[in-house]
Amino acid sequence: MATNVAILASGSGSNFQNIAESDLDITIKVLIVDNPNAYAIERAKKLDIPYRVVDRKHYTKETFEKEILDILKECDVELVVLAGFMKILSPNFISKYEDKIINLHPSLLPSFKGPEGIKDAFEYGVKVTGVTVHYVDSGIDTGKIIAQEAVGVEDTDTLETLEEKIHEIEYRLYIEALKMVLEEL
Ligand code: GAR
């Protein structure tokens, strides 16, 4: 039976759309965004996927997470997929979905953690960076790695061309990694 999934996003939502259009055996019960201006909302409307806006500005950290947990419960969510979700989840939240929260990060962890993985790697001048899919634990970008893929940074690359290369890898790698996760559920 298809696994009930929630996707959490803060911005463009291109990975959300890619997952929604994939052949994964999932039902996206809800897209949750923490930002009312996230373009991911437009994608959810076009894809006819239910979405909820939990605007971080209107909550304390505790009530923000409580609201999201209530939605997950209401939707019988079995797996939480972060796709460009830029808020750090508390240990309390994570303990409710232990080994059931997956994140996508645009660098080869443990290098370049944090919200600007692509830019930080590019500005550092690395010759190799990449994409990581990992379980979320109570650290920041520290959970067990599920899949990783490297990409070379060429002298001709700009931040924009590197971003494009990383996104192309993300679209393929996140689906492959989620397939592995779903098999083990
Ligand atoms: C992706 O590149 C993802 O790896 C990154 O945000 C982008 C979201 O793009 N996530 C992080 O940096 C998490 N720390 P999208 O909204 O188009 O899917």
Per-residue pLDDT tens over the stretch 88-114:
999 999 999 999 999 999 999 999 999
- Quick one: pLDDT at residue 117? 98
**3 CA to middle of ligand 1, Å?**
23
Q: Describe the strand order of the beta sheet including 51-53 as a list of residue ranges.
A: 51-53, 26-33, 3-9, 79-82, 101-105, 128-135, 145-152
CB burial string 124-160: b at 16+ within 10 A, e below: eebeebbbbbbbbbeeebebeebbbbebebeeeeeee
List the catalytic residues.
105
Q: How many CB atoms lie within 10 A of CB 59?
A: 15
- Quick one: pLDDT at residue 156? 98
Peptide bond into 110 cis (omega under 30): yes
Query: What is the SS3 assignment for 155?
Result: coil
Q: Which domains does the chain have, with CATH numbers?
A: 1-97 (3.40.50.170), 104-185 (3.40.50.170)
Whether this prediction's pTM lies above 0.95 is answered by yes
Contact 143 CB / ligand 1 (< 6 Å): no
Which residues have C-beta within 8 Å of that of residue 184, sequence separation ≥ 6? none
Which residue type, as a one-letter code, is found at position 168?
Answer: E
